[in-house]
Amino acid sequence: MERKPMTKKELEEFAREATSDDEQKLWEKKKLGTDAQHVGRSHFYKAPSKLISIRVPEEVLEDLKTIADHEGLRYQTYIISLLTKHVRRKKAG
């Protein structure tokens, strides 16, 4: 089944929902990750990070990169924010 591309409005809403939590705001304001003192684990996480490898359809990855760029973020940071937000919502109920 072919995936329908998101409209600009849908992309903006998707990005807004994924980047509205407190940690993401700190990344956007460059309070995290801009110098050596921020190297390592964010104080928002209780567990250390783990390097993983996943296969992502090329079209999805390109969409993620486009949205991340629109938000002024690196795509890996954007993906982590999406995963974190999704997991928090699922755990909350």
- Asked if residue 80 belongs to a domain, the reply is yes
- Asked if residue 16 belongs to a domain, the reply is yes
The residue ranking higher by pLDDT, 68 or 51, is 68
Contact 70, 62 (CB under 8 A): no
Average pLDDT over residues 43-60: 78
- Asked if residue 21 belongs to a domain, the reply is yes
Q: Give the confidence band of 3 by pLDDT, cuts at 50, 70, 90.
A: low
Q: Give the confidence band of 16 by pLDDT, cuts at 50, 70, 90.
A: low
- Asked if residue 39 belongs to a domain, the reply is no
For residues 21-50, one letter each, b for 16 or more C-beta atoms within 10 angstroms of the residue's C-beta and e for the rest, the string is: eebbebbeeeebeeeeeeeeeeeeeeeeee
CB contact set of 25 (below 8 Å; sequence gap of 6+): 19
Q: Give the confidence band of 23 by pLDDT, cuts at 50, 70, 90.
A: low
- Asked if residue 1 belongs to a domain, the reply is no
Structural domain range at position 66: 8-34+49-92
- Asked if residue 60 belongs to a domain, the reply is yes
Q: What ranges in the chain are assigned the alpha helix state H?
A: 8-18, 22-28, 58-70, 75-92
Residues written for the chain: 93
**How many distinct structural domains can be found in the chain?**
1
Q: φ and ψ at 71, to 5 degrees?
A: -90, 0
